[in-house]
Each structure stands twice: as structure tokens, then as C-alpha cells.
Structure 1
């Protein structure tokens, strides 16, 4: 498999490719985000990575590379629940539209697309599958979450696999499906406690002013938890719906404290004492990357800040899910 990695980000697709059963080589990675590119380059120094607008890529240039596969995770903002929902009219959709426009003129036989839930009902999705039909691709669309394959994290995403003859799917294709073909019985691969970093994490503890304002809406995980919420690029900056937090005490103890906090007669000092007793902290960037199944050897360059780490992870993929899908592209 000779791969073009478009919207390459921090290299999630590349790690998924390496984790698959397929012999492959990434011939070109393309992204315009300088922070993501620094991280990608740090982890894959030998890959031809270009900071370039995808709309500048011509069929002639791409055909000279000799690739047969495209892996891509286009910008999701035009399709997100909290985004502009500009769909095909959003300027950030123009790069994907360009790829679809040149697809009839490039020698590509296999494609994987990842995006947010909501893409499946978009005008862009209709344009994608119309182009696949026009170019002679068979395809299958999915809505999948890591929790379906034993990963203790929810990250529901849209995926589309496409193949051009002579390649064929080894399963019957059809309408949108919600599981991997021939998926074995779900068994937990690890618990939250298995991905926790050792050492003092004082810098990650939630400030008291945040606890007092948001404790009722926080999603709390514990060492024995077998689930966590989806982490977004706003994690560590916004507090509701951006990802789970971790408590160093047991779930039973925490629930007793949370029940006490609901008492209307608490004075401020008592409330602060109870909130402190919860020992709530953010997951570290390394822990978030592990929940997204990045390998142990994935690293950030030293100059990348925690805020930048959370943002790029929030825009990235679950490596294990994509790796399973890449195996279906053979």
C-alpha cells in the first residue's frame, strides 16, 4: 500500500497504518497546521511532510508519486454540532472538494475518510459518495466508537472506506453500519487505571473556582472505570462536554462526597473542603493520547505547550479503530 496522508495532523493515521496488518509506505503527508506538523515530524522524521494547502496539489504531481491509497481526516468544523454547519459552503470544506474534483484524474484505488458524527447527513457526504459512484468505487460507511472494541473511551465518528476494482470488500456492503464486520465479542482492553501516569500531577488539579462553579456537570472517572467521555480540543479550557476528569479516590467515597455537596446548608468552607476531598484533576496529554490508542513511543516535542497538546489530540483520531478499518482496505 502506497499512501497519501491528507490532513495528516499529528500522525494518527500513520500510527494506525503501522498498527495494521498491511505492508505500507507513506509517500506524502500534507497539513497546514504548523503545530501538528512539528509533532508529526518529531514522530516520523523520515516521511515527506509538506506544509501546503491541499488545493495546490495537482493530479500530475500526485500521480508522479505512485500512490494507490488516500487516508484522510478532513476538517470537521463544517459538520460539528457546535460548529458553523456551513457544510459544502464552509471555506474549510474546499480542500476536500478539491480532492473529489481531481479524484477521476489520479491513480487511487483505496480511500479511508474519517470525520465527526453528523457528516453522514451532510451535503458533503452526498458529494463524496456521488464522486465515488462516478469513479467506480464501491464503498461502506460506518459510525463507530472505541468503546465498541474494548477501549474505555467514547469517540463516535463517521468513517467511509472505498475501493476501486480489482479490489473488493470481503463483506456485503450497504447502508451505514454501526459495527466492524466480523467483530468479535467486545472485551475490555484496559481500564482507566492502566493508562495513568506516575508522579505528582499537581499542575493538573482543577482550581477551586472551577470546582465551585462546575462540579455538578463534571464527568468523573476512577481507577477502575471502564469508560470515559470524548476529549475535545477545548479540554482544560471549557468544562462541560469536553472530556472526563479523574478522581484519585474511590467511586464510593466520591459519591458520598457528591451527595454531601448537594446539601443546601453547607457554608463556603465546608463546600471547599468537600470539593478538595474529591481530588479531581484533568487527564494529562499523555493519558489522553493513550485513551486514543497512540502507542507508548508517541511523543510531543518539548516546545509544544499543554494547551496545544490538548487541542491537537482533540482534533485527532482513535488509532485502534482506524487500524481495524485499514485492515479492511486490502
Structure 2
């Protein structure tokens, strides 16, 4: 937020294909719509958002990001952090997060930071999970923690939101992050949330951290009455009633919150309201390009497929290796009508491998592959984008949000890889809403902290 307007400014680190940006826009759109139920839904009543910079090491990610959010004129995405040797024409090339200086970040004056640091150092499959601090992929996140520690207090962002894999909260990197937040007087909370809790039929549990600073600062003496009106104190009762209340400035034993009732993020054990996969499938999809190869179907490795149908209300977590490996990379879908004479065979396969996690299966020595030629396919890139909560149509995007698409030359394998590394936009938007609510309910219209 700038000092002279009602514009919420932000920086997006590890921006990928823009998941956090879509999430923040979705949160503001939803809050605005709820606030304007009486009919005062005008452009003037909307809180403006401005991205001051989006940073990712991947040129492919940046290509897709700027396909959906073309850099404008003097935006920071073109000029703020480019090196002396970098020309404007290369604005969509990667910019190293480690190259951002304290001066860069202080001068940006961003109200909010959003980030999804590399998850590989913290995954359960990583052999050296306890050595995440020496993993080269952690270097940029360590740099951001150091920037939080060294920046002038009045220039620090008022809100920081972070996403990573479950297990990140136990890492040395997270301890460093908490230490930096505590040193700069941030209040923070941890969440473990899954898209299924938002009625999305995809299993992708993730860790989230929300950090909010209430420190008075002339740098952020702003009029937030509009934000306060949008928030409308909707979360106060929940904060007082949760079994493990939000706690701040505490040690490594920070409790993990697993639901957000006022935002319809239901208890993780509940499956009510989850939509069937058919709601996320495209009728016009080119099935031939998505079919699982016969040589894979006939191999022993097909035993590891996670098998779903359009009527199912679940699908397994999609990784960046989707389409390249079989085991634990995401579900494949049987979307053909059962063929006459094959009912028994289909039922047998479903009984053996459906709803059973690949890592929990015991291989059947009598298994000789699957006779499902032409019946089993992968999800398309845009179908996965829907499962990940990206707005793929204007109706989903709302009045103030950009729809999501891939550039025409982005291959299917590239689409799978990009989304396998992305965040779920719907869940992340709930986290943004929590952060905005926490800030707005504590700060008065005059910019002062409420006791």
C-alpha cells in the first residue's frame, strides 16, 4: 500500500506461473464481493493491487508468467531490479533472488511479500532433509531471511505469506525464518491445509505461514478504511474459538492450524462437498495426445498408477515429474464408458489399484499389465490448472482478475512440469484472506495499532 492511495503493493518471490498473484487477486475479489452485497460494487470500491516485482530462476516460468501478466511501462518487473547489462527486452528472463540487495528491497516499499521457496530440500523423499541449510536450492531463501533481519524496520513488509511442503516446519530453514520474524516483531501462525478442504478433488497438503507486523511506521501511514470495510471483522469469533488459537512470536513448538471455518476451509477429516473430477475435465480435450502409451500399460510399472474416474472425488498429488514417471507423480484417468464384455476386467483393476496409494501397494506377481489401450489418459495442462484453482475463464476470474492460459508454444510436458511445481490458488487465497484480516482488524483507520 502506498502512502497516498489505497493500492496494495507486493513482491512475489519464486513466482512460478503466478500462483500467489492469482491467489491475492482472488482473495480481494472475494472480500470485495462479500462487502458489496448491498449493491455498492463499483470500480471505486475495489482495493487496487500492484505487483512491484516477480522473481523466479526459471526462464520458462517467467515466460508463462508474463504471458498472463505482460509487464507495463515503468513497472518494476521491467526496470527496478534489472542489472546494468540487462536490457529491457530481456525483462522476462530470470533474475536471481540472491542478487536483490537490502537497498532494492527497502526502496520497493512493498506492503506484502509472497513466496514459495524450493521444496526439494524439505521433501520426505530427500535423503538429507536435516541438511537443508547446505542444499544449494536453499541459498535464495536464506538470503531473504537475512534481508528480513537487516532491513530498516520501517521498510519491512507488513505481511509475509509462505507456502512449502509438509515437513518444512521442522527444517533448519524454517527455524531461521521464525527467528528472523521474531527478531523483527512479526506475529505469525502456521497452517497445514489441503485442497480437499476447499472441495477440490486433489490431494496436495501443504504448509503455510502467515506473518503480520503491527509496528507503527511513518512509511506505512495509510488510509486502510477500505480494507477494513472489506474485511468486516468476519474472523474475530473464530480466532477466539479455535482449539489451538493463533499464537505469535513463539518458539519451534508453534502449533499447526488445520482448518479455517469462517472461510469454508473445513476440517481435514470431512469429505462433504468435494466436487467430482468431472467438474474439472474439458470436453474438447485432445485425448489422443494424452493417452498413456501401450508399452507403459503393458509393463509392470503400470501397477503403480493412481487410477481415477470422472465420478471420483479424489486425485493424487501432481508433481513436476507427471507424465515422465509412474509412481507417485499424479493420477491418470479412465474416462471412457465401460466397453461391453470388459466389466469384469475393469472391476478387477479398480479393486486392485483404485483408492490405494501407490507407495502402500504390494506388487502382485501375477500382474501382467493393463488391457486398457485407448482408455487411460493423463490430465491435460488446463485440466490440471483448474484443479490447482487457476481461473481459466472470465467467470472464474471475476471482474478484477486476469484469466490463466499457457503460451501456444508451451509443450504439454512443460505444462505438467510447471503446474507440478505450483501452488493451489484457492487454498493460497484463503491464506491471503487470513493475513489481510489479521492486519485490518488490528490497525485502526488512522493507521495506529488497536489495543
CA deviations 1:257-284 (Å, max 9, x no partner) are 5279999989x8xx76x3327x110011
Q: Contact 1:236/1:282 (CA < 8 Å) preserved in 2?
A: yes
- Structure 1 residues 149-168: aligned runs within 5 Å: 149-166=198-215
2:257 match: secondary structure: coil
Which residue pairs with 1:41 in the alignment?
Answer: 66
Partners of 1:159 and 1:97 lie apart in 2 by: 17
| Inter-CA distance 190–179: structure 2 relative to 1 (3 Å threshold) | same
Q: Secondary structure at the match of 1:275?
A: coil
Matches within 5 A, 1:121-140: 121-140=170-189
Q: Deviations over 1:227-252 (max 9, x none)?
A: 11010000000001100000024689
SS of equivalent residue, structure 1 residue 100: helix
Measured at CA, do residues 260 and 154 of structure 1 come closer, stay the same or move farther in structure 2, by a change above 3 Å?
A: closer
The equivalent residue for 1:224 is 311
Residue 123 of structure 2 is matched in structure 1 by: 80
Q: 5 Å matches for 1:6-85?
A: 6-21=13-28, 23=47, 24-46=49-71, 48-49=76-77, 51-83=94-126, 84-85=128-129
For structure 1, the residue ranges without an aligned partner over 5 or more in a row are none
Q: What is the CA RMSD across the aligned residues, in angstroms?
A: 2.7
Aligned to 2:287: 201
How has the CA–CA distance of structure 1 residues 261 and 46 changed in structure 2, closer, same or farther, with 3 Å as cutoff? closer
Distance 1:198 1:249 in 2: 12
CA deviations on 1:107-142 (whole Å, 9 max, x unpaired) are: 211100100111011111111111111110010001
CA offset at residue 322 of structure 1? 0.3
Indicate how the Cα distance of structure 1 residues 181 and 265 shifts in structure 2: closer, same or farther if over 3 A, else same: closer
Going from structure 1 to structure 2, the CA distance change for 1:126 and 1:250 (only over 3 Å counts) comes to farther
Partner Cα separation in structure 1 for residue 350 and residue 162 of structure 2: 45
Q: Residue 238 in 1 paired to residue 325 in 2?
A: yes
Q: Specify whether residues 224 and 284 from structure 1 end up closer, same or farther in structure 2 by C-alpha distance, changes over 3 A only.
A: same
Taking the TM superposition and a 5 Å limit, the aligned residue runs for 1:93-104 are 93-104=138-149
Which sits farther off after the overlay, 106-115 or 48-57?
48-57
TM-score normalised by structure 2 residue count: 0.67
* Shift in Å, 1:188: 2.8
Number of residue-to-residue matches in the alignment = 325
1:294 aligns with 2:319: no
Bigger Rg, structure 1 or 2: 2
* Contact 2:109–2:157 (8 Å) recurs in 1: no
Alpha-carbon distance in 1 for matches of 2:114, 2:259: 20
